[in-house]
Amino acid sequence: MSKSLTQVVTRTCGWTLFFAFTVFSYGMAAFGFAFPRVMADLGDALGNPNMAAMYYERVYRADPGAGNLYMVLDRYISAENHGKVITFAEKFLADDGYLGIIQKVNAAGEQAAAGSKLRLVSYANEDSRIKTAYIIALARTGMIFKVVDLLQGWESTADTRQPNHAFIAGFLELPSAETKGCLVRYVNALESSGGDEGLYSIDFLMIAYGLLGDSAAAANYARLFDEL
């Protein structure tokens, strides 16, 4: 094959690949706009939560319900996309359907845990998971004062079934007198609410006291956790 013919073949193949890729890219984009939920499912199947979240955003814009909003936030939390977590956590926490979604997710988590104590505290406290991711996102994007303001606002919401690990995350991300004070006050509120009687609160208090340096209290809660 002559040199000139080789160059023609090479150039032709290159342009063919270029046009094929261009057509494929535009085709995928068009398909994504037409069928965003299918593309979101594909993102989940590929283990790409950022991709899934992007397409769930389109689903949510077309149908702005609490369930679709949760799907967006959940995927962005998994992707650790802090800017998006902040945006959608604020929307979700203010949504009228928030509590209903939390209850459904916790019920599914309890079923998935299949009686395992460690899985229960990991799978079935979605309120805490969302608020913790929100606090971490704020801390890692430099919004220190908002972290403290939120924690102070949540101090009076101690719930032995859904203890808020955002207090632990806030202190770990931004160790200061302010975040430590918030954690201490929340611990006291949780104990006053009967925190030594439930699995979720005992787990929280065990971790919190260990972080605060009270090894005796941490060991006591660890014993209570084992005895449940």
Residue 35 predicted with pLDDT over 70: no
Assess if residue 182 is contained within a domain. yes
Q: Per the domain annotation, does 62 fall within a domain? A: no
Asked if 79 and 50 count as a contact pair (C-beta separation under 8 A), the reply is yes
Per-residue pLDDT at 177 exceeds 80: yes
Judged by DSSP in three states, 158 sits in: coil
The C-alpha atoms of residue 161 and residue 120 are separated, in whole angstroms, by 11
Residue 195: predicted pLDDT: 85
> 13 or 55, which is more confident?
55
Range of the domain at 224: 121-228
Please, what is the end-to-end C-alpha distance for the chain in angstroms? Answer: 80
Q: What percent of the chain has pLDDT over 90?
A: 78
Residue 28 reports pLDDT greater than 50: no
Four-residue CA torsion sign, 19, 25, 29, 35: positive
In a domain, 180, yes or no: yes
Residue 63 lies in a domain: no
171 located within any domain: yes
**Structural domain includes residue 213:** yes
Residue with tokens 């890729």: 21
Does 153 map to a domain? yes
**Position 222, amino acid:** A
What's the domain count of the chain?
1
When pLDDT is cut at 50, 70 and 90, the band that residue 11 belongs to is: low
pTM listed for this prediction: 0.84
pLDDT at 37: 84
The answer to whether position 129 is within a domain reads yes
Task: Categorize the per-residue pLDDT at 27 as very low, low, confident or very high, splitting at 50, 70 and 90.
Answer: very low
Q: Alpha-carbon distance 206 to 124, whole Å?
A: 18
